[in-house]
Amino acid sequence: MKSLLPALVLGFLVAVTGLIFFFSPYGQKLEEDIGLALLFKLRGPRPPPEDIVIVNLDQISSQKLGLPENFSKWPRTVHARLVNFLQEHGAAVIAFDVHFVENRDLEGDRAFAESIRQAGNVVLFERIQRESRALSRDDPSGGTLEMDRLIPPLPLLADSALVLAPFPLPKLPVRVNQSWIFKTSAGDRLTLPAAVLQVLGMQYVGRLQQMVEAETDVVGYFVSPESDAVSSAPEIQEFGQRMRALFLQQPDLAERLLSKLAPGSPLLFATEERAILRALVRLYAGANSIYLNYYGPPATLLTYSYHELLSEESMSGLRRSDVELKNKIVFVGAARNTWSGQKDGFYTVFSQPDGLDLSGVELAATAFANLYEGMPVQALSPAMSLFVLVLVGLGVTLCCLYASPVVAFFLLAAFALCYLAASHASFSAHGTWPPLLIPLAVQPFAAFLVGLYLKYYIAGKERENIRKALSFYLPEKAVNALAKDLSFIKEGDQMVYSVCLMTDARNYTMLSERLDPRDLSILMKEYYRHLFEPVNTMGGVVSDVVGDSMLALWPSTKPESALRKSGCQAALHIAQAVERFNGQHPQSRLSTGIGIHFGYMLMGNMGAGNHFEYAPVGDIVNTVSRIEGLNKYLGTSILATEEVVAGLTDITTRNLGAFVLAGKSNPITVHELLVASESLHEKNKKALCELFATGLTCYREMRWEDAIAVFLQCSALKTDDGPTLFYLNLCRQYQAHPPGPGWDGVVFIDKK
């Protein structure tokens, strides 16, 4: 490409195409379904946090502890024993991903409630149920309202728990990529992972409240969970919701607090306190949902079965370090290890080929771990995505436009590998999720197609320009043959019949001496424009132009009278065109002679090595040159051989006799094509031709006095008639010096 601007415009269009596709719902879905999954596959499992433990309600525990196979039928005393065990071993938070909504034996429920109350750090699950309600009680057909209703656990258990929280997940055959943190349809209620983090940070939220009040003008707006006023789950939920509302109202508040909580800040914080406060700030300022940064396939997080913690036999076989629970965050739920026993499975990127999915409790633990670490999957911001896609769009387009297709393919492959490696490194280290499918597939493919099309278009334009340029120098048939096969250069010779027309400007040498070369070039271009038009109009081909001379051809595979007629008409039109040219340039007039011949000749490529010229070859070309030169002796404008005018009745000609031209041995009969002029009107053409024929007959019969008398009559019809003056002078010479025996009237011309 000659200019960078078209390439930049095309690159911008490719970038815009990628942006439109990326920000469309379909593009976002593809990025999530394919791009995000690819990053997880490339990264593989990663080490889970050591502070998170899952306690599994599994079938082995049912067998070991002598419990029903359906864990929902287990007596609540088993869960009470677990809570007591976890409390004794110093668990920081206990979260049940089990909905205790059915009544069991009252004593068991009381024992479980008491253990929850004694632990003081238990989060219980409450279900969200979607319901449809009529907008009007009186008119049920007036429309319905979809709303979420919270179904808490048993009142006895709900009153004992520190906080209640839902954990909604899709019950559809789709891959789970996100988790709710605040459930908007339930009044921005904290979900289970967020509630666990809230409970974990209870001892530090007083400090957080002080920092918030120092950064804002809000004082006394919050109810601290550390105060005596907080004694129920709703108050803890209210604290989190109020905090979130404030952070959403002041978007820069989180950035200011995180800077004060950074490791290098002057404020003093314990390591654990700093980490939890930073996690809380990110929680309140974050989105309603997060993309889960999975740690791996099922059972990647540290998991114990109920029986391993409650059975004396199992405990006796475990080292204390194996069940170290101090300051651990414990999630309790059904995490099956086989597909056949799984009832609470969700399809994820780490679902196993045998059908084993991650369980709900594992998803809750993963979401909490992402919040605590501050490393959920983070898609690039719209601004950064725009920057990346524009940069990639421009880059791949320029690559495809300026490199050959093969080189562009390898460059795009190298770019894809580098981009994929950089994306993998960023995703593995920070959970950053850049656009993947669009810059790796859509934009390169679009750029490659654009590059191929543009190269094809440019090549087509260049070929058309070459064809057009060649058509100025070669016949169209030769140009078409060369475009198909270069072997035409050496194998394209062809014998044809053709009319040959040659012109010559008489005083070109004088003009070239007088005019500046640039002015002479401009003048000759204008001159040839006048000459070429009649040739093209009459179906001829300009074969060659040398200085002041032009050669035009009417080739054919067989002798056709129509071609001869076209050549003669072209000659007459050329004579008129020259008159117009001379009228427009009176100071640079070019008197032009025209010769026409017809015959059999070779059209071919003449030359050798790396230089060829497509030109006619044969005696016909030399002959037409001599005929054109004969105009200077006869004082004529257009001369044609008898082979040209034979049988043409629509063109006025007169026979000028037989001539042996310079360098030739055989005589040629020459005819003049008469052009209407001021000195010879159409009505006088016939009379002149008849008188001249009579004079020519007298000349051939050597009746010099009669011939001179007739030619004098011709001179009276046209005083400046060149052939008449030529023969009048020749007859007088022969009258004084008669020719020898065997003379047949042929005129010999010794010079060109």
Average pLDDT over residues 682-692: 81
In the predicted structure, residue 702 carries a pLDDT above the cut 90: yes
Query: Could you give the number of structural domains in the chain?
Result: 4
Which pLDDT band, with edges at 50, 70 and 90, does 217 fall under?
confident
For residues 295 and 352, membership in a common domain is answered with yes
Among the residue ranges 90-104, 233-247, 555-569, 733-747, the one predicted with the least confidence is 233-247
Residue 558 region, left (φ>0) first, then alpha (ψ -120 to 50), else beta?
Answer: beta
719: number of Cβ within 10 Å:
10
182: number of Cβ within 10 Å:
20
User: Tens digits of per-residue pLDDT, 6-56?
Assistant: 778 888 888 888 888 888 888 889 898 899 999 999 999 999 999 999 999
For residues 18 and 150, membership in a common domain is answered with no
Distances (CA, A) of 222 to 193, 205, 229, 238, 653: 22, 10, 11, 9, 118
* The pLDDT value given to residue 97: 93
For residues 341 and 426, membership in a common domain is answered with no
In the predicted structure, residue 339 carries a pLDDT above the cut 70: no
For residues 191 and 338, membership in a common domain is answered with yes
* The pLDDT value given to residue 173: 59
DSSP code string of 395-430: HHHHHHHHS-HHHHHHHHHHHHHHHHHHHHHHHHHH
Distances (CA, A) of 577 to 423, 529, 531, 533: 74, 9, 7, 9
In the predicted structure, residue 180 carries a pLDDT above the cut 80: yes
Q: Domain containing 597 — which CATH number?
A: 3.30.70.1230
User: Tens digits of per-residue pLDDT, 586-645?
Assistant: 888 898 999 999 988 877 655 555 545 656 778 888 899 999 999 999 999 999 999 999
For residues 149 and 291, membership in a common domain is answered with yes
Q: Which range among 23-27, 430-434, 673-677 has the greatest average pLDDT? A: 430-434
Closest C-alpha among 52, 54, 55, 88 to residue 307: 55
Average pLDDT over residues 374-387: 92
In the predicted structure, residue 315 carries a pLDDT above the cut 50: no
Residue that wins the pLDDT comparison between 481 and 647 = 647
Residue 479 resides in a domain:
no
Residues 576, 566: Cα–Cα separation, whole Å: 15
Final residue before a domain boundary, out of 660, 675, 690: 675
Which pLDDT band, with edges at 50, 70 and 90, does 2 fall under?
low
**Residue given tokens 């170290």 in the structure block:** 324
In the predicted structure, residue 275 carries a pLDDT above the cut 50: yes
> Which pair of tokens denotes residue 597?
């011949």
144: number of Cβ within 10 Å:
12
Residue 387 resides in a domain:
no
Any residues with CB less than 8 A from the CB of 119 and at least 6 apart, and which? 83, 84, 86, 87, 91, 94
Contact 243, 223 (CB under 8 A): no
In the predicted structure, residue 483 carries a pLDDT above the cut 70: no
* The pLDDT value given to residue 233: 55
Residues 670, 640: Cα–Cα separation, whole Å: 6
Residues 161, 114: Cα–Cα separation, whole Å: 10
Residue 164 burial (C-beta neighbours within 10 Å; 0-12, 13-18, 19+): buried
Looking at the chain, the whole-number percentage of residues with pLDDT higher than 90 is 42
pTM for the complete prediction? 0.66
In the predicted structure, residue 145 carries a pLDDT above the cut 50: yes
Helix, strand or coil, per DSSP, at residue 499: strand
Final residue before a domain boundary, out of 316, 341, 373: 373
Residue 590 resides in a domain:
yes
In the predicted structure, residue 337 carries a pLDDT above the cut 70: no
In the predicted structure, residue 396 carries a pLDDT above the cut 90: no
Residue that wins the pLDDT comparison between 252 and 494 = 252
Residue 116 resides in a domain:
yes
* The pLDDT value given to residue 135: 56
DSSP code string of 145-189: EEEEEEE-S-HHHHHHSSEEE------SSS---EEESEEGGGTSE
For residues 692 and 622, membership in a common domain is answered with no
Residue 240 resides in a domain:
yes
Q: Which range among 168-172, 227-231, 358-362 has the greatest average pLDDT? A: 358-362
For residues 313 and 403, membership in a common domain is answered with no
Q: Which range among 71-85, 161-175, 341-355 has the greatest average pLDDT? A: 71-85
Average pLDDT over residues 575-583: 93
In the predicted structure, residue 289 carries a pLDDT above the cut 80: yes
Closest C-alpha among 435, 322, 448, 320 to residue 381: 435
**Residue given tokens 């031209």 in the structure block:** 661
For residues 157 and 244, membership in a common domain is answered with yes
Which pLDDT band, with edges at 50, 70 and 90, does 507 fall under?
confident
Residues 127, 166: Cα–Cα separation, whole Å: 6
Average pLDDT over residues 58-76: 87
What is the overall mean pLDDT for the chain? 84
For residues 668 and 685, membership in a common domain is answered with no
For residues 314 and 363, membership in a common domain is answered with yes
User: Tens digits of per-residue pLDDT, 490-502?
Assistant: 555 677 888 999 9
Distances (CA, A) of 111 to 108, 165, 465: 5, 22, 95
- Name 10's bridge partners: none
Inter-axis angle of helices 443-471 and 382-402, nearest 10: 30
User: Tens digits of per-residue pLDDT, 455-476?
Assistant: 787 777 877 776 676 565 555 6
584: number of Cβ within 10 Å:
10
Residue 468 resides in a domain:
no
Residue 472 resides in a domain:
no
Looking at the chain, the whole-number percentage of residues with pLDDT higher than 70 is 86
Residues 296, 46: Cα–Cα separation, whole Å: 6
For residues 108 and 243, membership in a common domain is answered with yes
Q: Which range among 231-240, 262-271, 417-426, 438-447 has the greatest average pLDDT? A: 417-426
Contact 595, 630 (CB under 8 A): yes
For residues 398 and 350, membership in a common domain is answered with no
Final residue before a domain boundary, out of 623, 643, 675: 675
Residue 136 resides in a domain:
no
For residue 403, the enclosing domain spans 4-39+393-462
